[in-house]
Amino acid sequence: MIYLDNAATSFPKPDIVYNAMMEAMREYGANPGRSGHKLALKAGRAIYETRELLANFFNIEDPMRIIFTSNATDGLNLAIKGLLKPNDHVITTSMEHNSVLRPLKALENSGVETTIIQCDETGSMDIKDIEVNIKNNTKLIVTTHASNVTGTIFPIKEIGNLAKKHGIIYMVDVAQTAGVYDIDVIDMSIDILAFPGHKSLLGPQGTGGVYIREGLEISQMKEGGTGSRSDSLIQPDIYPDKFESGTPNMPGIVGLGAGIKYILEQGIDNIREHERKLTKTFIDELREIESVKIYGPCNIEKQAPVISINIGEEDSSEVSFILDEVFNIAVRPGLHCAPLAHQTINCYEQGCIRFSVGPFNTINDIDAAVNAIKIISKEI
């Protein structure tokens, strides 16, 4: 199987991820932060180690401002719902994933106002469109770092600066970039950062998190046992306990830590260059195939290793089915949980076939994909 569905979840994971999780489960699989015995302490330390790795990775000063969640969606909901109050105004874009758009849509029922900036046909946004839409009650700007449909990279540092200038909170969804692109919350003026653990950070499914800058007032969505202030019926206000009720996914978080260690060992620049090279080759080859329509910037300087295409007017699911059945190539077809993005790039009816590259893909995978698309293009 040639796996080109890394934007959905990276596969495989580095061996050290599997091994670290097995060790965590077999050797010290206790409940972290609940008891004081050796295994529980070891489990607690292992979680803290991942928190520290993430903090260093994103240049976050205090690891305790990182909250572990079950995926990026969970983190985005936590921050969006915890932050926004009736009559607050939010600016977002037409390239966002439903993990941003659906919570905002739901909040409209309680009086939150949303402005959705229209991006162009390549999925790119114009920062001026944000600025002109800022109002007195604009509390939040939330954007993706790179579109999950087209890979289009957003100018997050510029948006962060703009937000800062206007005293607006900036939240970034780094689902498609964390682990491949440099992310520095201070340099980029990011107030809230939501990330999945199981994509380019190479951790297992069931992990993710959200960083919340000190000084922001965010209410928790759920309460429960935190292993802290157990004498009280009131949720503790300290981070991360305020948001981390119940037993955490300790082996998963340990696996996420191992994923980050792998990235640090390989060098994030090397991983990025490898993925960019494959993506560039893929784009260059695809351009030569007449019936192929490529969405997005078609420019490796402007896009993450995600390439969406269609072949003529063929149904994207049909083509993906052939890629899977005949060529043993795994991709994702249809609508990618981002309906406005498909409208923006004009493939709402047809959907599109998304190829997404990971660190374990090789040039042979790209050649095989190109070859398959050539054959399918000729035959249908």
Using CB under 8 A as the binding rule, the residues of this chain from 357 to 376 that contact a second copy are none
CB of 47 to a second copy, least distance (A): 10
Task: Identify the residue among 212, 306, 340, 370 touching a second copy (CB under 8 A).
Answer: 340
- Is residue 22 a contact residue for a second copy (CB under 8 A)? yes
Binding mask 44-73 for a second copy (x = CB under 8 A): -------------------------xxxxx
Residue of 124, 142, 146, 145 whose CA lies nearest to 133: 142
Scanning residues 235 to 254, which ones bind a second copy (CB under 8 A)? 235, 245-252
103 binds a second copy (CB under 8 A): yes
| # chain residues binding a second copy, by CB under 8 A | 87
Residue 25 sits in the site that holds a second copy (CB under 8 A): yes
With contacts defined by CB under 8 A, name the span among 16-24, 176-184, 210-218, 304-312 that binds a second copy: 16-24
334 forms part of the interface with a second copy (CB under 8 A): yes
Marked catalytic residue, from 119, 298, 337, 352: 337
200 binds a second copy (CB under 8 A): no
Nearer to a second copy, 183 or 250 (CB): 250
Closer CB to a second copy, 188 or 309, in the complex: 309
Binding segment toward a second copy, per CB under 8 A, in 31-39, 164-172, 179-187, 306-314: 31-39
Closest CB 46 distance from a second copy, rounded Å = 12
CB of 364 to a second copy, least distance (A): 18
Q: Is the dihedral of CA 140, 248, 253, 306 positive or negative?
A: negative
Per rule CB under 8 A, is residue 223 in the interface with a second copy?
yes
Q: What amino acid occupies position 355?
A: F
Decide: is 232 part of the binding site for a second copy (CB under 8 A): yes
Residue 180 touching a second copy (CB under 8 A)? no
Residues 286-325 as x/- pattern, contact with a second copy by CB under 8 A: -------------------------------x--xx-xx-
C-alpha distance from residue 58 to each of 79, 88, 119, 374 (Å): 18, 28, 27, 40
The secondary structure of the chain, three-state, reads: CEECECCCCCCCCCHHHHHHHHHHHHHHCCCCCCCCCHHHHHHHHHHHHHHHHHHHHHCCCCHHHEEEECCHHHHHHHHHHHHCCCCCEEEEECCCCHHHHHHHHHHHCCCCEEEEECCCCCCCCCHHHHHHCCCCCEEEEEEECECCCCCEECCHHHHHHHHHHCCCEEEEECCCCECCECCCCCCCCCCEEEEECCCCCCCCCCCEEEEECCCCCCCCCCCCCCCCCCCCCCCCCCCCHHHCCCCCCHHHHHHHHHHHHHHHHHCHHHHHHHHHHHHHHHHHHHHCCCCEEECCCCCCCCECCEEEEEECCCCHHHHHHHHHHCCCEECECCCCCCHHHHHHCCCCCCCCEEEECCCCCCHHHHHHHHHHHHHHHHHC
- CA triple 62-67-71, angle to 5 deg: 140
Out of 81, 242, 272, 274, the only residue in the binding site for a second copy (CB under 8 A) is 81
Stretch that binds a second copy, among 176-184, 206-214, 296-304, 306-314 (CB under 8 A): 206-214
Please state the closest distance from residue 164 (CB atom) to a second copy, in A.
27
Beta bridge partners of 171: 142, 192
Tell me the window of 84-92, 224-232, 267-275, 369-377 that interacts with a second copy (CB under 8 A). 224-232
Residue 337 annotated in active site:
yes
Binding-site member from 204, 209, 240, 257 for a second copy (CB under 8 A): 204
Of the candidate spans 27-35, 87-95, 185-193, 297-305, the one that interacts with a second copy by CB under 8 A turns out to be: 27-35
Residues with catalytic annotation?
A: 337
